[in-house]
Amino acid sequence: MNTQTERIIDRLNVLGSISDEESCISRFFMTNAHVIAGKMISDWMISAKMEVRKDALGNIRGILRSKHSKAKHFVIGSHYDTVFNAGKYDGPLGIIMGIEIVQRIIDEDIELPFHLNIIAFADEEGARFNTAYLGSSAIAGNFDSKWLQRKDDKGATLHDVIIKNGSLVDSITKSMIPKKDWLGYFEIHIEQGPVLCNADLPVAVVNSIAAQARVNIKWEGTNGHAGTSPMHLRNDAFCGVAEFALAAEEIAVLHKEQLVATIGKCNVSPNTSNVIPGHVSHSLDIRSPNDQLLTEVMATLKEKALAIAKKRQLQCQWKIMQSNASVTCDHKLKTMLTSSIVKANINPVIEIPSGAGHDGVMISKIAPIAMLFVRCKDGISHNPKEYTNPKDIHEALNTCHLFMNTMIQSNLITNTST
């Protein structure tokens, strides 16, 4: 391990120790731990001699400026929020490695033909407000003001949480980087799947990111006494959900590797052992590399939910919270990344699709994107067991340095920045 890799490991441990929970890693959007982590990242960027700004959503943007007057922006980004009971690599690895990419450029006094940005996005997981890619949406100019009315589990709105943190809601749109100023976007992320482990490789080029939809479904029946209500006279909302969950699983299984469906969050009311549940709301997360298939399955599942509700005399409300089409990574950037992996003596170079969503999805609406996946042990992620070997981090960083050299020397830059 060299100094840079050691520093990456140290910083991953530092961020991994910043949590709202004592027993596990949890940093939801704009909680205490989240704000402290953002400040830590900002300090690291400052120590790498970057110009640093924090926007109204808490995105931390470090800029190393080019001397060229017409230079565009190349952005390396990832997120610093986490899911509940998270690992320490998902998100922070890409930010911390990005800072080391900048550090080498400073240390070797390399002249940049573009402004090099590292952006630590404040909310990618969307765990608090069901707002995946919230941070990157502002940078891409895609922020939807309707999201401000979304509530967390305690009833606080996104609007109020932003104000409480001392930010101005009106200035959210000011953090956008206009389309004409973008050169490209690069994200380094752990794979969160088993392909690299099975192939015994440290890194892979991402070729696409799956389409994804998030739905919130509410079921209403009637609360009742668990002892006195005969089975045939009940309107048990939870039984409707249970039937729907198995139907969703059955349809997803039918489509094998083309589609996945998950109900990961479920609130049962009144959530008491001796009361028939009258109200249940739950999430539904569906992903597929095939946009059309995702749309068709969504329609089928909605019909299924309504049919189950009718049969069981329940009310069912289906609300799409978020929907993103699949994304194809940029061919030129991908080619440069591939040649960098070859130069790093990593053999063979493989391309894999990402089933997980990433900030690159939002940025792809405004700029060409590329992604590098780094192996994580047994493909485990969103789990405290998440682990990436320091040797793999070292090889990934070496690949990124070579990629940056290629970017700096590339015709792509000279053609677009003059």
Give the footprint of Zn ion on this chain (CB under 5 A): 90-91
Whether the upstream peptide bond of residue 289 has omega within 30° of 0, thus cis, is: no
Kind and range of the H or E run holding 141: none
What is the C-alpha to C-alpha distance for residues 7 and 76, in angstroms, rounded to an integer?
18
The minimum distance between CB 122 and Zn ion, in angstroms, equals 13
Choose between 100 and 123: whose C-beta lies nearer to Zn ion. 123
Choose between 91 and 202: whose C-beta lies nearer to Zn ion. 91
Choose between 124 and 152: whose C-beta lies nearer to Zn ion. 124
Choose between 209 and 298: whose C-beta lies nearer to Zn ion. 209
What is the C-alpha to C-alpha distance for residues 78 and 37, in angstroms, rounded to an integer?
14
The minimum distance between CB 176 and Zn ion, in angstroms, equals 22
Nearest to 365 by CA among 179, 207, 205, 116: 179
The minimum distance between CB 190 and Zn ion, in angstroms, equals 8
The minimum distance between CB 92 and Zn ion, in angstroms, equals 9
Interior/surface letters 127-150, b for 16+ CB within 10 angstroms, e for the rest: bbbbbbbbbbbbbbeebeeebbeb
Kind and range of the H or E run holding 396: helix 390-409
Which residue of the chain is nearest Zn ion when measured via CB? 90
What number of residues does the chain have?
A: 418
Give CB contacts under 8 A, 24+ apart, made by 104-110: 104/4, 104/401, 104/404, 105/64, 105/404, 106/48, 106/49, 106/64, 110/408
The minimum distance between CB 88 and Zn ion, in angstroms, equals 12
Choose between 177 and 374: whose C-beta lies nearer to Zn ion. 374
Choose between 126 and 289: whose C-beta lies nearer to Zn ion. 126
Angle of the 32-47 helix axis to the 3-16 helix axis, nearest 10? 160
Rounded (5°) CA angle 101-64-34: 75
- Pure H helices in 265-315: 291-311
Nearest to 281 by CA among 235, 249, 237: 237
The minimum distance between CB 354 and Zn ion, in angstroms, equals 10
Choose between 74 and 373: whose C-beta lies nearer to Zn ion. 373
Burial group, residue 331, by CB count within 10 angstroms (0-12, 13-18, 19+) = exposed
User: Amino acid letter at 401?
Assistant: H
Number of Cβ atoms within 10 Å of the Cβ of 320:
12
The minimum distance between CB 115 and Zn ion, in angstroms, equals 25
The minimum distance between CB 91 and Zn ion, in angstroms, equals 5
> How is residue 311 written in tokens?
């049969």
The minimum distance between CB 90 and Zn ion, in angstroms, equals 4
Choose between 236 and 392: whose C-beta lies nearer to Zn ion. 392
Choose between 27 and 234: whose C-beta lies nearer to Zn ion. 27
Choose between 95 and 201: whose C-beta lies nearer to Zn ion. 95
Kind and range of the H or E run holding 96: helix 92-107
All residues at 6 or more sequence positions from 300 whose CB lies less than 8 Å from its CB, including other chains = 251
The minimum distance between CB 288 and Zn ion, in angstroms, equals 19
Contact assessment for residue 27 and residue 81, using Cβ atoms and an 8 Å cutoff: yes
